[in-house]
Amino acid sequence: MRCLVLIVFLPLLLMSEGLAQQFQRGEPKYDIKRCNPKRISHKPVSKPNIHVRKGEKSTGYSPVIAWEVLESGEVVNTRIKRSSGIADQDAYALSTINGWKFNNRPGCGTVETEAVGLIHWVGQ
């Protein structure tokens, strides 16, 4: 019986000690003011010549673009989460995001984000 109790409770005891050590380390908290990415520059993108090709049909929605901002401020892993249905419009939104640069945020990690309706506020 004691052996069974030891087999059941020993892993639980070890896990709780590990969690307690993790909380005692005093790891720095995430500083939202310092770590919030801010766009500091963008490359100008020429106005798109949007052509609706044969077989394309608008979804009626603006494209949703997702990307990641590294600690260095570089934009990576740009992708379309929701297509507009028009390839030129989606490509324009992707190229807009790829031209952005964010502030340097050492120690903050990578931030995943997304945007809708880039066609309307590209110049901001």
pLDDT, one tens digit per residue, over 66-112 is: 999 999 999 999 999 999 999 999 999 899 899 999 999 998 888 88
Nearest to 101 by CA among 66, 70, 63, 64: 70
pTM of the model: 0.66
Higher-confidence residue of 30 and 5: namely 30
d(CA 102, CA 34): 12
- The string of pLDDT tens digits covering residues 50-65 is 888 899 898 888 899 9
d(CA 28, CA 23): 11
Q: Where are the beta strands (DSSP E) in 45-107?
A: 64-69, 75-82, 100-102
Average pLDDT over residues 40-44: 87
Give the domains, in start order, of the chain with CATH numbers.
31-121 (3.30.2420)
Is residue 58 within 8 A of residue 82, CB to CB? The reply is no
Distant-in-sequence, close-in-space partners of 54: CB < 8 Å, separation ≥ 6: none
For residue 50, what are its two tokens? Answer: 């949007």
- DSSP assignment string, 92-115: HHHHHHHTEEE---TTS--EEEEE
Nearest to 102 by CA among 93, 112, 92, 89: 112
pLDDT at 25: 54
* Amino acid identity at 10: L
